[in-house]
Amino acid sequence: MIDSSSTSLSTQQLATATGSLPMFGGKPHEDVQQWLRLFRLTCVTLNLNEDHSKLLFVCALESEAKTWYGVNKLENLPLDEVCRKLYDRFDTKRNIPQAQELINSLEKSEDESWVGFVERIATIANRCELPEAF
């Protein structure tokens, strides 16, 4: 007979886990690599199995990251693959050269206002944490 207390995540364990792990929303100032390290450390510290770790993962996402998770239907993938995909999607620091190249190649469309054009550039720059002068 399997002890149900060893196979189910208690509300208290989940509260402890989510309380010790900051939420991750995918904002430009958030470091996805650091968050993933903290997530894995929390899972190991609390001895969470794959299913419970995935539950914690989903509970700790917010904003853009939560939307990204839902839209991409990642619930059936192994946790390691989901973590890799999260890293690939939200690791902005390694994309600086590509972002600089993209910004340099942007052109204002005729139906776009100058404000809209500048906001589009600023959004790319903020997402990639580009230095002010590049």
Distance between CA 98 and CA 45 in Å, rounded?
A: 37
* 97 and 42 in a common domain: no
Distance between CA 56 and CA 48 in Å, rounded?
A: 9
Is residue 114, in this structure, part of any structural domain at all?
Answer: yes
| Structural domains in the chain (count) | 2
* 42 and 66 in a common domain: yes
Is residue 3, in this structure, part of any structural domain at all?
Answer: no
Distance between CA 22 and CA 61 in Å, rounded?
A: 9
Is residue 2, in this structure, part of any structural domain at all?
Answer: no
What is the pLDDT at residue 95? 61
pLDDT digits (tens, 9 = 90+) for 61-78: 999 999 999 998 898 999
Lookup result for tokens 């853009």: 64
* 101 and 76 in a common domain: no
pTM above 0.85, yes or no: no
* 101 and 59 in a common domain: no
Domain span holding position 119: 93-127
- Count of C-beta atoms within a 10 Å radius of residue 85: 15
Which of 84, 88, 86 minimizes the C-alpha distance to 68?
Answer: 86
pLDDT digits (tens, 9 = 90+) for 28-59: 778 899 999 999 999 998 888 999 999 999 99
